[in-house]
Amino acid sequence: MDTSTKKLNVGFIGLGIMGQSMAGHILAAGHALCVYNRTRSKAEGLLAKGAVWKDSPGEVAAASDIVITIVGYPKDVEEIYLAPGGILERAREGAVLIDMTTSSPALARRIAEAAAERGLSALDAPVSGGDIGAREGKLAIMVGGSEQAFEFAMQLFQVMGSAIAHLGDAGAGQHTKMANQIAIASNMMAVCESLRYAEAAGLDRTRVLSVIATGAASSFLLNGLGPKIIADDYSPGFFVHHFVKDMTIALSEAESMGLDLPGLALARGLYQKLVDGGFGEDGTQALYRVYAELTGGGDAV
């Protein structure tokens, strides 16, 4: 079916830091939107703009041509899709189900298989870009599942993201997101080590950043989160505890493939120190707290 101009009945489940903006773009594009979130207050802004509240994920599925989910953990994904009365049980015939949570590739394949048995299509489509990417509609969207379902959902992907790719069968989107998180993990360590070194050397970190951010060291994380580190701004664009979850999934997948990823293992251990220290709801740039503790400067974890 050509959906390039067709307005759809869209269900959206999960209205966190990123989900609220993503759902808002869909509503602004003229699609009918129904929503569910464990905390209803997070939906109030969307409801004021015309979204319709539903009392459960199953009720969202029953009212939607496309269901989009972006929740916290694989256990949450499993519950809303596979539990009695959940999305798979109540979805309309022919519906497309899109999980945009960063979750387990194995779970993505399991959901896709269960969906196919009911005449449904399921895509795993995790995203990267954090709160800013979600707010600006410039997320990177990595998709696994059938090509036909991907094409059906494309007009929605296009209002949420600017880099959209179909990577293969079910689970491929999640595997790609694992590769993304592995790259971020070591890059965040490098950013923190660089700025901690500059601080210990008595340099003006803002001036250092203005120079190195234009050369070979330039990166999204250095340029985007470096200034926040210097300002002691650890507000979340992406929660530390969610990043630990992602790295744990990636390490498990790597082990199953016989891979040793020492950089990822080190990063996960350092970030776990933040969670253990009560900083799990900080942004990922809060890793600098750990380096400050390890090297005798700044706030201890």
User: pLDDT per residue over 242-257, tens digit each?
Assistant: 999 999 999 999 999 9
Q: Which residues pair with 74 in a beta bridge?
A: none
Query: Is residue 2 assigned to a domain?
Result: no
Query: Is residue 15 assigned to a domain?
Result: yes
Pair (212, 157) in one structural domain: no
Q: Which of 122, 146, 169 is the last residue of a domain?
A: 169
Helix segments in 64-171, DSSP class H: 74-82, 87-90, 105-117, 130-136, 147-160
Pair (163, 38) in one structural domain: yes
What is the rounded CA–CA span in Å between residue 108 and residue 128?
Answer: 17
Pair (53, 145) in one structural domain: yes
Average pLDDT, the chain: 95
CB 102 within 8 A of CB 174: yes
Q: At residue 45, what is the residue type?
A: G
CATH number at residue 185: 1.10.1040.10
DSSP letter (8 states) at residue 144: E
**Segments forming the whole domain that contains residue 110:** 9-169
pLDDT-based confidence at residue 297 (cuts at 50, 70, 90): low
Pair (216, 155) in one structural domain: no
How would you classify residue 62: left for phi > 0, otherwise alpha for psi between -120 and 50, otherwise beta?
alpha
DSSP letter (8 states) at residue 53: E
Residues 262-287, mean pLDDT to the nearest whole number? 97
Place of tokens 């992602």: 246
Pair (59, 16) in one structural domain: yes
Pair (221, 93) in one structural domain: no
Burial call 107-145: b when 16+ CB within 10 Å, e when fewer: bbbbbbebbeeeebbbbbbbbbbbbebbbebebbbbbbb
Catalytic residue positions, numbered? 177
Pair (206, 113) in one structural domain: no
pLDDT tens-digit readout, 51-100: 999 999 999 999 999 999 999 999 999 999 999 999 999 999 999 999 99
Handedness of CA 20, 12, 26, 112 (dihedral sign): positive
Instruction: Please say if the pLDDT value at position 1 is more than 50.
Output: no
Pair (151, 280) in one structural domain: no
Residues 163-175, mean pLDDT to the nearest whole number? 98
Q: Which of 152, 169, 186 is the last residue of a domain?
A: 169
Place of tokens 């509609």: 137
Domain count, the chain: 2
Q: Which residues pair with 204 in a beta bridge?
A: none
Q: How many C-beta atoms surround the C-beta of residue 75 within 10 A? A: 12
Instruction: Please say if the pLDDT value at position 2 is more than 60.
Output: no
Q: Which of 135, 169, 203 is the last residue of a domain?
A: 169
pLDDT-based confidence at residue 296 (cuts at 50, 70, 90): low
**DSSP readout, 212-262?**
HTTSTT--HHHHHHHHHHHTT----SSBHHHHHHHHHHHHHHHHHTT---H
What is the rounded CA–CA span in Å between residue 282 and residue 46?
Answer: 25
Pair (223, 120) in one structural domain: no
Pair (137, 104) in one structural domain: yes
What is the rounded CA–CA span in Å between residue 84 and residue 94?
Answer: 19
Q: Which uninterrupted H or E stretch holds 45?
A: helix 44-48
pLDDT-based confidence at residue 295 (cuts at 50, 70, 90): low
Sequence-distant (6+) residues with CB within 8 A of 118 are: 88, 91, 93
